[in-house]
Amino acid sequence: MTAKNTSDSTSSASKGSAKSKKKAWIISSAAVVLVACGYGGAAYALQDQVPRDAQVEGVEVGGLSYAAALSALKESFGDELQEKVMVVSGDDRVALTPEKAGLGLDYEGTLDGLTGFTLDPVALYQRVFGGTNIPLKTSADTAVLGNALETAAETLNRDPKEGKLSFSNGKVVFDEPTDGVSVDLEKTEEAVASEWRNESREVEAVTETVDPKMPASAFTDAREQAEALVSGNITVKAGAYNAVLTPNALANASAFTTEDSKVSLVVGNNKLTNAVIAANSSLKSTARDASVVFKNQVPVVVASRTGRAIDNTGLNSKVLEASTTEARTASVAFTEVQPEVTTAEVKSWGLTKKIVEFATPYPTYDSTRTKNLVAGAKKVTGVIVQPGEVFSLENALGPITTANGFFESGVVEDGFSTTAVGGGLSQISTQLFNVGFLGGMDDVEHRPHSRWFDRYPAGREATLWSGQIDMKWRNTTDKPVLIQTYVTDSEVVSVLWGTKKWNVTVSSTDPYNKTEPETVYNEAEKCVPETGGQEGFTITTTRTRTNGSASLPTDKLTWTYRPWNEVICGEDPDKKD
């Protein structure tokens, strides 16, 4: 019995111990589950909360929800997208507006990882007990930024400056070549994308050097040679005659050329010869070309003549050589020269035969106008027009200025009488238009007056206005023609001399489409009152040109003249009302 009791007692104790262990395990497991549930719950509860005391570049976002933190960042940094960013290259600067240039602020990326569910004990610890200061992330739309930088590069790129040698006031001027700059768009894009938020708001463009076509060394030889040339006077000797060429004269006869990436000094032989003659007229050629002069209003051939002139062969080389010596002297010889235009050649032109003559009366009461007629006649007389060449009256007269011998007299401008330098030269234009028209020349350019002057054939006259209206015709004959114009005591006479080629017939219609004069007002400062009274009209002129069996197309010239209105100086009274 005793043994049984002992056994039961032991068994009972053993059973009690097992029950205790099982209970402890259950309690322990329950505790673990409770802790785990608490940790997970805490993690879940903290998933939308930014770590406590967290800052983004000084902006407090700690403890805020994701949405609240996002809003805080946009409010604090959003204005930066409108603040200019300067892209800089040397002294050149281009401003970019970040938002327009594809640059942005990545608020979401900045907050990425600060919120959201996590079981990371370190992250949970930070969310409960404290955060950190983190940088604001940026973004870039590379396509938009690339386009913006391409546009900026148009300003930032700088072409290389090519070197240049020149003369100024007898001295050599050297503009040295300088490098250019080209923006490396890819590297500059990377720099701008990563650096645009720096404190200065400036980003240095990444550039490459662009070399000029020729380095400074390519100019060295020519520069030294030119400086020696114009360092002082150079004397050219020909027999007993001397011509002193100044640095200015030497420079004017010289130029710089470029070939095969090398600059050379070129001294023009003909220019140098002209400079020698200008320095001493005794060295001018004594040869004479044949020419035509008028004696008693008839053309006479002046014979050509053989003469002597300096032998300018290699003159430029001699002068360059002299520039390197202490004496600075070059010697040349005289040589016999033939005329360029011979007597036989001029005689073959047949300029002593009259093709056509034309005359119109002029108002003798206006002495100033007559002076312009005389001056204009002298300038066109003796002009020789070669076959196929175009005669221009404006070119023959030269500038219509007082310095060129002309005077202020009456003209018609916009249908009103006024005054201008060269008044009356339209009569010279009419004269030469008619000798050309009647002589069978091609009408290249002319314009009749706005109203008809009865001293001219209606529809067959031409005005002239310097720089705006010229009178031109083309020589349609096979030989040169010679122009002559002179003023008598009552008429202006023009003659075309040469070999006649065309039989010309000219006819005109009667005036038609007549218009009555009116009363008009002229407020111009130089207004001239007129009584008016002459009708306006239209007229057509027809010309034919034949030569044996050959003929040229018929010409028809139609022009409408305004009436001669009564002109009252001042403002129209109806206009005042």
pTM of structure: 0.58
Taking alpha carbons only, the member of 171, 173, 170 closest to residue 249 is: 170
Classify residue 270 by its DSSP letter: H
381 CA to centre of own chain: 40
* Angle between helices 315-322 and 269-279 in degrees, nearest 10: 70
Query: Packing angle between helix 425-438 and helix 367-380, nearest 10 degrees?
Result: 40
The tens place of each residue's pLDDT in the chain, 577 residues long, gives 333 444 344 444 444 555 555 545 444 543 443 334 444 444 444 445 677 788 998 899 888 888 999 999 999 999 999 999 999 999 999 999 999 999 999 999 888 877 654 444 544 444 444 457 889 999 999 999 999 999 999 999 999 999 999 999 999 999 999 999 999 999 999 999 999 999 999 999 999 999 999 999 999 999 999 999 999 999 999 999 999 999 999 999 999 999 888 899 999 999 999 999 999 999 999 999 999 999 999 999 999 999 999 999 999 999 999 999 999 999 999 999 999 999 999 999 999 999 999 999 999 988 999 999 999 999 999 999 999 999 999 999 999 999 999 988 766 655 555 567 788 899 999 999 999 999 999 999 999 999 999 999 999 999 998 889 999 999 999 999 999 999 999 999 999 999 999 999 999 999 999 999 888 888 887 788 888 788 999 999 999 999 988 899 999 999 999 998 888 888 888 776 5
Which among 401, 427, 397 is positioned nearest to 412, based on CA atoms? 427
Residue carrying structure tokens 């206006």: 366
> In CATH, what is the architecture of 219-342?
Roll (3.10)
**What residues does 300 pair with on adjacent strands?**
293
Domains of the chain, by residue range, sit at: 219-342, 350-569
Q: Are 173 and 165 in contact (CB under 8 A)?
A: yes
